[in-house]
Amino acid sequence: MDNKTQIFSNILKFKEENGKQLIEEMDEVITLKQTGVSRLMGRNIIAWQEALADYKVNGFQLYAFKLASNQDYQEEWLVLRLVDPGAWLLFDGKYVAVSYYDLAKETGLYKSPIFEGEYDNFSELIVGQTIRACDIGHDYIIINLSDNGAEHTLEVPKDLNRLTLTGRGKKRRWSINDDMSEAWIISKTLMFSG
């Protein structure tokens, strides 16, 4: 079994065991696969939050980006639901967060309050960004952002060699059975059971 399949399988198991309550509480959850990326275009990111969905699944966090309203949609959350998302998501080539498996290195822009020595250098970078373009494929997403003329990139990269190793010291891989557009969801609320 490759490393990505194992991680995504944990999410599927979590959904089967506790997902009904989680989805009911989140209110009108839809995936990017269902809605398409056009819903994101031109939207400002007005907040971001790490949400811990369940402590039973090691490293399971949701990264949520609050999108400003526009003429078509009210404020809503764009949520990445991966195990240890800090190990997958890059902002301008830097890890968004310190990986659960890489705590000692402190290589990320953010370190969760659940770990000793927390810090946040990510909020000031992401809040205020406008989504200009989004390229999503089976195994990657590239979100082009801008803020006062400066261009930035938020991505799960095509080249997974750019990512940290797993807790078992193996390269991260995306399974042929998984789909990036299903790892991202849109929700009107951000309420999770924990």
Structure confidence by residue, pLDDT tens digits, 35-91:
999 999 999 999 998 765 544 444 456 788 999 999 999 999 998 877 777 778 899
Q: Which of 48, 52, 42, 30 is nearest to 192 (CA)?
A: 52
Distance CA 35, CA 42 (A): 15
Is 96 part of any domain?
A: yes
Is 193 part of any domain?
A: no
Please give the pLDDT value at position 173: 79
Please give the pLDDT value at position 55: 42
Is 192 part of any domain?
A: no
Count other Cβ atoms within 10 Å, centred on residue 31.
Answer: 16
pLDDT in tens, 111-149: 665 556 666 778 888 999 999 999 999 889 999 999 988
Is 20 part of any domain?
A: yes
Q: What are residue 44's DSSP bridge partners?
A: 130
Number of domains in the chain: 1
Is 194 part of any domain?
A: no
**Which of the 8 DSSP states describes residue 44?**
B
Distance CA 103, CA 15 (A): 27
Is 17 part of any domain?
A: yes
State the pTM of this model: 0.79
Range of the domain at 164: 3-187
